[in-house]
Structure 1
Amino acid sequence: MGAVFFYELQGAPLETTLPMLLDKARGQGWRVLVRGTDPALLAQLDAALWQGPVDHFLPHGLAGGPHDADQPILLGDLPAAGFACVMAVGGAAVSAEEALLLARACILFDSAEHAKAQARLQWKTLTDAGIAAQYWAQEDGRWVKKAERDARSAGG
């Protein structure tokens, strides 16, 4: 059973933060699903990943291609089966059942009030199911852990 990390994007945009998190996940050897429900956002993220540093390319693809099963990072609105990590963007959800099977789930959201409200609901749902969670926010250009619930204290 993994954990869910919540990232409130206060300083850097999603296009900057996502590659950093993907790099860390791939460093763990995880196959990653970047889950989003908005095809335009996923296309934008795909383009941003292609424009990353040449010496630090993150191999990836948009779901629906002939080689989806071979992609170490896949962007799409898919079930978590076959992935070790799911990074939910643009308000996409991760269920408690999925989170229990993943090494890690990440919920990335901006500081808009509706996005924060949705993240709070996800936090409550997942921690009530007994899943460990951490909440990270940016302060002065660095990530700071603001809250944590371990699996023992979650669910109650």
Structure 2
Amino acid sequence: MTEVLFYHLQNMSLEKVLPPLLEKTFERGWRAVVHTTSEERADALDAHLWSYRDDSFLPHATWRIEDAGEQPIVLTVDGRNPNRATVRFLIDNAPLPENLDTYERLVLIFDGDDGAALDAARAIWTECKSRGCEATYWQPDETGRWQRRG
């Protein structure tokens, strides 16, 4: 059964939240695919993941490179899974994958200040629950630490 984690961004950017989540995924030895909805966003995240912190190294690639299948983290703009990831991140209102059951974990990160993102997250929550997935909702507390709320 796929575990689905909903991360509700409030007063924080995706660029701040995504790298630590990907670091934890990588440290656990899991492969991840990050699904965004535009090539421009994928390119911006690609550049950001190389430089978000001076002392970091987060191996990743975009779907465009020849050896994307060998990378632990791949940024993509479609539903494919080029690196056989077991964790899929959905950002920028990316749709729920048709083959949801092939993932151990799905991480949906959505902007709490964007009405369309909230509506999309609610629809995905409903769909996941109807499919029998274990869904949890995470929200930052006043110090910015993630707390499970549901």
Normalising by structure 2, we get a TM-score of 0.91
Q: Give the alignment partner of residue 116 of structure 1, picking from 89, 102, 118.
A: 118
Distance in structure 1 (CA, Å) of the matches to 2:29 and 2:119:
32
Which whole-Å deviations, capped at 9, do the CAs of 1:110-134 have from their partners, x for residues lacking one?
0111111110000000111101100
Cα RMSD over matched residues? 1.4
- Contact between 1:3 and 1:99, CA under 8 Å: does it hold in 2? no
| TM-superposition CA deviations, 1:18-54 (whole Å, max 9, x none) | 0011011112211100011211111111111011234
> Structure 2 matches for 1:7-26, cutoff 5 A?
7-26=7-26
Q: Secondary structure at the match of 2:21?
A: helix
Q: CA shift at 1:143, angstroms?
A: 0.9
Give distance in 2, aligned partners of 1:54 and 1:98.
Answer: 37
- Residue 142 of structure 1 is matched in structure 2 by 145
Structure 2 match to 1:104: 105
Find the counterpart in structure 2 of residue 152 from structure 1: none
Which sections of structure 2, spanning at least 5 residues, go unmatched? none
The residue aligned with 1:3 is: 3
One-letter amino acid of the structure 2 residue matched with residue 104 of structure 1: R
Other-structure match for 1:94: 96
Poorly superposed stretches of 4+, deviation over 4 Å: none
Q: When the two structures are aligned, how many residues end up with a matched partner?
A: 146
SS at match of 2:85: coil
What is the correspondence of 1:43-82 to structure 2 with a 5 Å cutoff?
43-76=43-76, 77-80=78-81, 82=84
Question: Unpaired runs of 5+ in structure 1?
Answer: 148-156
- What is the percentage of aligned positions where both structures have the same residue? 34
8 A contact 1:36–1:90 mirrored in 2: yes
